[in-house]
Amino acid sequence: MNTTIRRLCATTGMLALLAGGAQAQSIAIAIGSEPSTLDPQLRDDGGERQVNDNIYETLMARTPEGALEPGLATEATQVDETTWEFALREGVTFHNGEPFDADAVVASVERIIDPGNNSEQMAYFGTIAGAEKVDDMTVRILTDGPDPILPSRMYWMKMIPPGYAVEGDLAAAPVGTGPYRFADWSRGESITLERNPDYWGAAPDVEEATYRFVGEAGTRLSGLMAGEFDVITNLLPEFTRTVPKFAAVDGLETSVFVLGTDNELTSDPKVREALNLAIDREAMVEALFQGYAGIAQGHHVNPAAFGFNDDLESYPYDPERARALIEEAGATGQTIQVVGESGRWLKDREQIEAVAGYWAETGLVPEVQIQEFSQYLDSLMGDGPRPDSIFIANSNELLDADREASFIYHMDGAAASNSDAEMAAMIDEARVTTDNAARQDLYDEVFRRGHELNYTVPLFNLQDIYGMSERMEWQPRTDAKLLIKEMVVTE
């Protein structure tokens, strides 16, 4: 940790005193999907994170611009190639009174990597082998090989109270160390959080926040205009000039279709190539996003992430070649499954339906399934057979290609699209390679291979657009976290 970060940490108590007199306020936030659970460690669910990022905290944190900084740990030190040591913040307690200490970190690590829990978040934590207590306020994280980005991984792993994790109900009544604590969950309607009076950091301005689950973008907009909501997610680009306030930021999500390359239809390389060539991405980005998105450069890795392959080009639009490939494959008239959801990501349903329309023009017969979000997560990451194609706006909060490669391209990844053992071996090697140039070379090869074999159908690098009420002051974060402690009410 550098001197500036340590100095910032040392001033936390003073900041808390200065903020303590802020006027209490309540706000309402409309999000696109209801969390499938409030357990912070088992599902990879954006709705869960939008709530739990305010309840739970992590050893490392990030600034709104994305720079890594201390969180529940004040310092991280690499002891050897497979060991990192974290000094923990003193005086922190969980909402139920349990102390935050090394035992809590060990329990958090062991729970999330336990194969029996089958956590969907393992793409973030694939190298972690365990944790050891050094003393009450010092812990070591162990990896199964060199891991140059271990501190970034600990930005993602939420810390849980070990006693409550065994005896309580993390899925329905979460307990963390964060600035807000759980108050109520009205299923199908809302979740309410209240300010934590015993928070170790600066006291937030907002006293109470209620999340409303509103899948339709138009309904979220209507609620904002009617004064029902203070913040809405995924504001449609065409309404940025209509709302009282809006804010946009380059996001970390890339929309992509993951192809089931072991399925009968999509196992054919000609079919997979046709699926990419059939789409007029330029027309889609103009019609749907009006400048608030860019065309993905041939793969699903965010351009801000280490490991991005800058040599790849976006797939061209060649509908005649796409039709010819489908005919050559003998696939004309065959049905292709197109699975997705609606409301979680910007223009998600519109992207799914537009792509299905392009694929229909090749001679295939798309069968579009817009699923409820929990069912969709099972389709994306469950144990059952993969759909022919499934939509996701893939994110990369680690800002490292290991996240995207492990999640979608590795044959054992949660959203694995292939059974390519050679590619998996390259991903495994890149994960433990400490020389940055050698790591980049490996990722270049991984993503070139995925591009040439058309394992996915990359679409767009998305911006995050939010609508806000006139009374809200808030600058969205690069990592898309809805941190209520950063929001200020002006009335």
| pLDDT score for 128 | 96
User: What residues have CB less than 8 Å from 219, skipping those under 6 apart?
Assistant: none
pLDDT tens per residue across all 491 residues of the chain = 333 333 333 333 333 333 333 445 899 999 999 999 999 999 999 899 999 999 999 999 999 988 999 999 999 999 999 999 999 999 999 999 999 999 999 999 999 999 999 999 998 998 999 999 999 999 999 999 999 899 999 999 999 999 999 999 999 999 999 999 999 999 999 999 999 999 999 999 999 999 999 999 999 999 999 999 999 999 999 999 999 999 999 989 999 999 999 999 999 999 999 999 999 999 999 999 998 999 999 999 999 899 999 999 999 999 999 999 999 999 999 999 999 999 889 899 999 999 999 999 999 999 999 999 899 999 999 888 899 999 999 988 889 999 899 999 999 998 988 999 999 999 999 999 999 999 999 999 999 999 999 999 999 999 999 999 999 999 999 898 999 999 999 97
AA letter at 363: G
CA distance 176 to 52: 9
- What domains can you pick out in the chain, each with its CATH number? 22-39+178-244+469-491 (3.40.190.10), 56-168 (3.90.76.10), 250-463 (3.10.105.10)
Give me the pLDDT at residue 14, please: 32
What pLDDT shows up at residue 114?
A: 97
Whole-number pLDDT of residue 253: 92
Q: Which residues of 60-87 are buried (b: 16+ CB within 10 A; e: fewer)?
A: bbbeeeeebebbbbbebeeeeebbbbbb
- Calpha distance 350→391 (Å, rounded): 11
Q: Which residues contact 384 (CB under 8 A, 6 or more apart)?
A: 378
Q: Which of 42, 39, 34, 29 is nearest to 342 (CA)?
A: 34
Q: Residue 384's pLDDT is what?
A: 83
Decide if 38 contacts 173 (C-beta within 8 A).
yes
Question: pLDDT value at position 395?
Answer: 87
